[in-house]
Every structure is written in structure tokens, then in C-alpha cells.
Amino acid sequence: MSRIKLTERVIDRLAAPDPSGKQVLHWDADLKGFGVLCSGVTNTKTYVVQRTLPDGRTRRVTVAAANEMTLAKAREEAADALVELRKGRDPKVRSVTLQSALDTYIKRYKASLSENTQANYKTMIERHLAKWLDKPLTFITREAVEKRHAEIASEVAASRPGRKGETSANAVMRTLKLLWNDARHQDKTLPENPVLLKKLWFEEKRRERIVEAAKLSDFHNAVIALPNPIARDYILFVLFTGLRRREAAMLKWEHVDFDLKLIRIPAANTKAKRKLDLPMTDFVRNLLVARRSVGKEPSGFVFPSHGKKTGYIAEPKFPLDAVGKACGVTVSVHDLRRTFITVAEETEISPMALKALVNHSLGKDVTEGYVQMRVERLRAPAQKVADSLKQLCGIIPIDEENVVAMA
């Protein structure tokens, strides 16, 4: 074995195959434990690291072929591996990187994850943990997690005024914890999950923003005044159904049954992956009949968008901002869902009916497990909520006979 100052030029000049016909290691004079292994029978040159583990065993780990990685990158990888070996960790499975763990998780659970959830996981990990993506999971330590958790909160707060960085930091680390647990389930050699923040988690207050009852009339009038009829109808549809943003946005005409007065949302479009048959109230039916009279789009979406690849309306931020400026009530789509639930609860419909209307789980109680909430059972509660909303919004009742004639 020889010890030399490794440079790209020096490595190019190393003999491979070695004249001895045997493998020869050329150790780096600068980074102890790092070297180039030259084959005795082929022209292969390989970056390797070697170190004695705390238990006395000597472990050699391949970093990469010399023609596949630059010397600078190999040194960086080698330094990380040597640190792991010094700690007694054996980085023998180097393919399990954070990026591969993310890709594997999404691929494995793609059928049960919404497109939005998949995109959120990828965005959080690839944006906030970019420097860790090509690192083996074993290189992510508890100390590094705690440090990065605090950094993310500061970075988000600084770059996006008004956005709470603490919430983003918690979300990123919850996702990392999820990926690690899944990877460890597949590979028992991985150490325990380093996301052990315990008391270091940032406190997150549950959002409570709604359109207050006293402001609903002003809010409704501002929505009605929107110049974009699709955005207008979409916002009103969410307010009067309590559906989630994508559940409403992805609604197609094939999901609307005017004869039975039902909206059938397929399981694939819901957060819970549980189908939802929602009875149409008079307000919702009138709105949908009016939308249909405009004509169906080729995409089949009830709330189409020509500028989006998806074909359906995206987050209506600009229309809601315009509404906020007009009436002083600034809310998100989810705040409208929260408003629906709040009004529904105040009508004193049964808790089970309310859960069914917004597609929440009926619970794991033994009795609740036997309950099958039939759609006809939900018609009266749904209409009761709609009547309360109409009254709060100051809506004048529409002649139902005229609307039926149009359907």
C-alpha cells in the first residue's frame, strides 16, 4: 500500500490493471482512510474508505467508481462515511438515500395518496432538505434534524412575510419522520428515527378563521359581484356544501345526478379515500342548474379552467382576495368549509349527520361502527344547514318551479 497526494491527474496515471495482477490500494495523504483501489485484472479504479470500527473490526466501504464521480465529490462522500464508521455505524447500504426513500414511499402508496399529498411531500423534502437528498439516511442525525428544524422556521418566516415558519418546519420534519419509519420497516439495519424533537416541536394553534355570521351577508354580496362567474359559483358551492377545495374543484358533470338530486364524489377525489354521496339542497341544485345552462365544457368539469393543465379551477386566491378587499372578510377555501361546519353545528343537526355531510369518519366507537348513514337520512339535515346559510347571507328565496323547468 502506498500513501500519495491524490489529484485527478495522479489518479489518471495510476496503473490499472496493476502490473502485479493483484488489487492495489493507493491511500490519500490528506484524508486518512480514503483511497483509490486499482484492479489487478481490469482497468477499474474505485474510490474507497476504510476504518477500524469501535468493536475492533475493519470495515471497507466502496464510495464510487473513479470514472463515475469527481474526486472532490468522492472526498465529500468519503468524509461522511468515515464519520459514520467512527460512530460505529456501518454505511453498507448506501443506496437508501433520502431521495430514494421519498420516491419509494410515494410509489408504494401512490394508490392511497392524493396527487396533492404527493406533491406536498415532494415539495417539502426537495425544497427544505435539498442538501440531504443524495445522502444516505444513516447520515441524518438527531442533532442535524434539530438544527435544520429551527433553520427552516427562520428561513420561511424571512422569505414569506405573514407565513408562519414554525408550521412549515413541523410539517417538513413530520414528513421526514414518515419516510424514515417506512424505510426502516423495509430495512431493519437502519438506526432509530432521528426525528425525536419531543419538546422542540413548535406549538401550532388550530386555525379558527371563519366568515362570522354577522359578516356572511356582506361576504355573499361581494362574491356575487365577482366578474368571473366560475370563481363566483365555485366559492358559493364550497360555502353551501362544506366540501374540500379539490373535492369541489374536481367535480364533473358525470358526478351530478339531477334526477335523484345527488352529488356523487368518487373515493379517489376525497381526502379520506371514501366516496361521498351528498344530497343536493335547493341552493346547490339551483346553482348547478344555472351552471349547466351555460353549457358543458369538453373537460367535463363543473368549474373548468382553460389556463390550467388539470382542466379545473385551482386555488381561487385572487377572487377571494378581491372579496376580502370589497367586504373586509379575508378567508381561504378551507375557512369556508369551517364556516359550513360551524353553521351546521349551530342548527343542532345530529353530530353523526354533520360528520357524514363533510365526510368525516363516524368514529371507532362500537355503536358508531354499526351506523350506516344513508343519503336520504341526510337530506333534511343538509337542507336545514342550507336554510340557515341562506338566511345569514340574506338570500331571497328563488321560485323553485322555474328552476325545475330549466332542468
- Structure confidence by residue, pLDDT tens digits, 275-304: 899 999 999 999 999 999 987 778 899 999
Q: Provide the domain limits for residue 293.
A: 213-406
- Predicted pLDDT of residue 394: 93
Does 240 lie in the same domain as 174?
Answer: no
The C-alpha cell of 242 is what?
Answer: 362544506
Does 194 lie in the same domain as 252?
Answer: no
Does 227 lie in the same domain as 170?
Answer: no
- 57: pLDDT confidence band, cut at 50, 70 and 90? confident
In a domain, 274, yes or no: yes
The C-alpha cell of 108 is what?
Answer: 408504494
Does 387 lie in the same domain as 277?
Answer: yes
Does 337 lie in the same domain as 248?
Answer: yes
Could you say which of 200, 221, 253 is where a domain stops?
200
In a domain, 93, yes or no: no
Average pLDDT of the chain is 86
Mean pLDDT across the stretch 359-368?
60
Does 253 lie in the same domain as 107?
Answer: no
CATH of the domain at 151: 1.10.150
pLDDT digits (tens, 9 = 90+) for 43-54: 989 999 998 877
In a domain, 207, yes or no: no
pLDDT digits (tens, 9 = 90+) for 320-345: 999 999 999 999 999 999 999 999 99
Does 123 lie in the same domain as 227?
Answer: no
| pTM, to two decimals | 0.59
- Predicted pLDDT of residue 270: 87
- 86: pLDDT confidence band, cut at 50, 70 and 90? confident
Q: Give the count of alpha carbons within 13 A of 311, CB side only.
A: 10
Mean pLDDT across the stretch 5-19?
92
- Return the minimum-mean-pLDDT range out of 92-101, 149-158, 254-263: 92-101
Does 316 lie in the same domain as 245?
Answer: yes
In a domain, 241, yes or no: yes
In a domain, 284, yes or no: yes
Does 311 lie in the same domain as 257?
Answer: yes
In a domain, 380, yes or no: yes
- Predicted pLDDT of residue 265: 93
Q: Is the C-alpha dihedral spanning 390, 391, 397, 400 positive or negative?
A: positive
Does 297 lie in the same domain as 393?
Answer: yes
Evaluate if residue 349 carries a pLDDT over 70. yes
Does 352 lie in the same domain as 224?
Answer: yes
Q: What is the largest CA-CA distance in the chain?
A: 98
Coil, strand or helix at 393:
helix
Coil, strand or helix at 25:
strand
- Predicted pLDDT of residue 400: 52
- Predicted pLDDT of residue 248: 94
In a domain, 91, yes or no: no
Does 128 lie in the same domain as 77?
Answer: no
CATH of the domain at 230: 1.10.443.10
Per the structure, how many domains does the chain have?
A: 3
**Do the beta carbons of residue 179 and residue 98 sit within 8 Å?**
yes
In a domain, 206, yes or no: no
